[in-house]
Chains A and B, each alone.
Chain A
C-alpha cells in the first residue's frame, strides 16, 4: 500500500519524557463530580435525573437526543446535589450535574459483568457502543456508533487505529498501548466486525518504541492486522494526514475519511469499546495525562468523568510554581482554561500546565510574508494571505482561499516570526462564513 510523507508539518519540542514513563494510576474518588451533559459532538443528551436523586454507577443520567447523540452515565454511586451551570473545558459555562459520591462505588444492576461477545453481530455491537456512550476519545468526541454506520454507498475497506499521539507532552495513549495492547486490539476487532472490514492498521509514531513493541507482540495472531511506525512529525495524527501517510489516499477537501473507504479510531476509543462490549461497562472514566512543567508530579491517571481539573492536579502533587496556562488537551490544539473547576469530559486526553515562560504570547505584528507558514501548512493553504484577509475583515476572500479547510493544527502560528494569532483568525473567519451561510439559507 502506497503512502508517504504528508506535506508540511513541524517538529515541536515534545516533552513526552515528563509523563511517558509513568504507569497508569487509578485516581481515588474525589469529593464531588461535575458531569457535563454536553460531552459529545452533535445533540447533547437530555437529563433524566433531578436534584436529590440517588444514582448508581453506570446508571443513565441523560438520554440521547436523535442519532448523533449518546447517553450519559453516572460515574459512581451517590446523589445528585445540583444541576446548574459550570465551566466546561471548551470554554463556557454549561449545564452539568453535580454528583456527590457515597463512597460505595456501587454498579447499577446488569452492568459490569463479563460476557461472551463472539456471537454479537454488527448491529448488536453498534447498539452496545451507543448505549455505553462512546465518543472519539482523541479529543473530537464524535459519537462512535455514528462513525461505525457509514452510508451504503461509502463502503469502508480499512480501519486505522490511531496511536500517533502527535501532540507534545501527552502520553496517555502511549501508556495505554504499553499496558493494554491486547484489549486495544480486541476493541479494534469489534469496530472491524461492526464495519465488516478485514484490514486493520495500528499507526504509532516512532518516538514510542515501547508502545510499538507492545502492540507488535500482541498483534501477531491477528490476521489482516498490521502495525505501522510513523515518522515523528506534527500533525501526524490528524486524520487526513494520517490516512495519506499510510495509504496515499487523499480525503477530498470538505469530505470525510469514509469518502476514501477509511475509518480512523483512537486507541482510547478502542479500549473503551472493549470494556463496553465484553464487560458492559459504559464510558464513565478515562485515561488522562496530567503533565507539563507546571505540575509537581506528572502522571497518567484513570479519572472518573466529572473529576475537576483542580482535583486531578492535586492528585498529581499540585502546581509547581506559578502556572501561566492550563490546557485541556495538548499545547498545539487544546483549549486554555479560565477555571480549574472545569471537569474532565469524555474528550479530555490531557491536562497540561505550562509555565509563564513557556506560554506563547501572540501579537498582531504585520506579516512579513516570509512564507514559513506556507511551508508547514499540511492542508496546503496560504495562512499568510488568509490572516491578512481576516485582519481586514475580508471574509469573502478568506473563503475563496479555502479557510474552511483549515484543520486548526496550529503549525502556522507555531512558526510565525511575527507572532500572529493565525488559528484565532481562521476560527473567526469560519464562524463568520458559517453564520453568513446560516443567514442566507
Chain B
C-alpha cells in the first residue's frame, strides 16, 4: 500500500496550535477538544519494556557472574550499539528519535543473551546492526517489523560466523576465571549421534541440577533455567505477557521429544533434557512472546507456541543445527498474520464469525 495515503491524526497540542491559540488570546478560555475517552491509565511503551528488562536482570546478572567481564562487555556492546544504531538511523531518516521507549535497549540485551560469551566486539555490532536497522527500521520501525529483531541478529551471525557462534563456548566458572572451551549439552548430544550413531545422555541428579541452575556452557542468557523461569513468571504476574505461548511452547517440546524418546531412546534424548537445555526458556518466555511478532489472541498464541515447539524439536532431532529455538520462532513469526486472521473471536452477541480474507 502506498505510504503516502497513510493519514495520521495528531492530537497533541504542538507548537503550531499553541501559537494559534496565543494569537487568539482574549477570545475567552480555550479547552482541549478531542474524542473520548478523556483519561488514560498511563502505561507507556517504556514501562512495558522496562519491566521486561527487569525480568531479564536475574539471568543477566548471573551470566556476568558465570562468564565474567567478557559477558559484561558483550552486554554493554550489544545494548550500546543497538541504541546507537536506532538513534542514528532515526536521525538520518528524520524520524523522531524513540530510543527513550527502551525498545532498542531491550533488543540489544536480548541479542547479547543469545550470544556466546566469547563473541568478538565487531561481531556483536554486526548482529545489532541487522537487528535494529534491517529487521526493524527498514520495515518501518517499532510495531511494523515482521520478525523478532534480536533473533534476526542472532541468526545472521549464526549463518555468517558459524565458528564463533557454535564452537567457542566457555564453561562457566566464577568471574570467568579458568574458563575452557567446550561444547553445549545439545552440541555434545549432536556430536555423539554423528560419531557413534547413538547418544549418551544419562542425566545424573547433579547434571540436572547444573542444567537448571546454569552451570553449563551456552549463550549468555540461556544457561539458567530457574532464573529465566523467575523472570517469566514475573512478567505473567505483571500481565505483560500471558502464559499461553511459553506454556504451549515448552509443553509441546516435551511431548514431541518424549514421543521420539519412547520410540528410540538410543537416538533421541530424554524429553526433560530437551526442555532444560538450549535456549528454550529464554526463547519461550522472552523471544516468542514479543508483541509485534506473535499472535494477539489466546487461541492464536497457543497455535503459535505449539508451532514453535514442533519446529524446535524437528530441527534439534533432524536438522543441521543442534539448536532450533531461534529458527522455530522466526518461522512462526512469518505465519503470525495468518494465525491472527483465522483466530478472530466472534463479536459479543454473534454466534460465529466466518474468517474472511482481509
Contact = CB atoms under 8 A, between A and B. Distances in A.
A371 to B, nearest CB: 5
B238 interface: no
A370 B356 contact: no
Contacts of B1: 392
B40 interface: yes
A158 to B, nearest CB: 17
A278 interface: no
A172 interface: no
Contacts of B346: 380
The 6 closest A-B CB pairs, nearest first, are A366-B143, A410-B37, A424-B35, A360-B40, A253-B349, A253-B350
Given A361-B11, A385-B296, A414-B40, 17 more contacts: A12-B41, A336-B34, A359-B38, A362-B11, A366-B141, A366-B142, A374-B296, A379-B347, A380-B347, A385-B340, A391-B6, A394-B358, A401-B344, A408-B36, A410-B37, A413-B40, A419-B44
Interface in B26-79: 28-41, 43-45, 47-48
A421 interface: yes
A206 interface: no
Contact of A414 (B39, B47, B143): B39
Given A363-B12, A417-B44, A332 B37 contact: yes
Interface of A: 6-7, 10, 12-13, 91, 168, 240, 244, 250-255, 323-327, 331-340, 352, 354, 358-372, 374, 378-382, 384-385, 391-394, 397, 400-402, 405, 408, 410, 413-419, 421, 423-424, 427
B140 interface: yes
B179 interface: no
Contacts of A381: 347
B22 interface: no
Q: How large is the interface on B (under 10, 10 to 19, 20 to 34, 35 or more residues)?
A: 35 or more
Interface of B: 1, 5-13, 28-41, 43-45, 47-48, 140-144, 291-292, 296-297, 340, 344-350, 353, 356, 358
A352 B41 CA distance: 18
Contact of A371 (B34, B45, B291): B291
B36 A326 contact: no
Interface centre among A333, A337, A362 (most CB of B within 10 A): A362
A168 B38 CA distance: 11
A323 B35 contact: no
B349 A391 contact: no
30 contacts: A168-B39, A250-B348, A252-B349, A253-B347, A254-B349, A326-B31, A331-B36, A331-B37, A331-B38, A334-B36, A335-B36, A336-B31, A336-B32, A336-B36, A340-B28, A354-B38, A358-B39, A362-B12, A363-B10, A366-B143, A366-B144, A371-B296, A381-B347, A382-B344, A400-B358, A405-B350, A413-B37, A417-B48, A421-B35, A423-B36
A12 B41 CA distance: 7
Contacts of A371: 291, 296-297
A168 B36 CA distance: 13
Given A370-B291, A393-B7, A421-B11, A332 B36 contact: yes
A417 B350 CA distance: 29
Contact of A324 (B31, B41, B358): B31
Contacts of A338: 30-31, 33
B6 A392 contact: yes
Nearest to A337: B31
B348 A378 contact: yes
Nearest to B7: A393
Given A361-B13, A424-B9, A368 B36 contact: no
Instruction: Describe B's contact surface by its main secondary structure.
Output: loop
A413 B5 CA distance: 24
Contacts of B41: 10, 12, 414-415
Given A401-B344, A421-B11, A370 B48 contact: yes
A330 to B, nearest CB: 9
B349 A427 contact: no
Given A360-B40, A417-B43, A391 B8 contact: yes
Nearest to A260: B349
A390 to B, nearest CB: 9
Interface centre among B6, B37, B39 (most CB of A within 10 A): B37
Given A415-B41, A419-B40, A380 B33 contact: no
Contacts of B296: 369, 371, 374, 382, 384-385
A255 B349 contact: yes
A405 B346 CA distance: 11
A366 B141 CA distance: 9
A323 to B, nearest CB: 6
A352 B328 CA distance: 52
Contacts of A254: 349
Contacts of A251: 349
A219 B257 CA distance: 64
Contacts of A240: 348-349
A32 B265 CA distance: 91
Contacts of B6: 391-393
Contacts of B349: 240, 250-255, 379, 405
Contacts of A361: 11-13, 32, 34
Contacts of B347: 253, 379-381, 402, 405
Contact of A336 (B38, B44, B47, B297): B38
A417 B47 contact: yes
A319 to B, nearest CB: 8
A327 B38 CA distance: 8
B11 A12 contact: no
Contacts of B12: 361-363
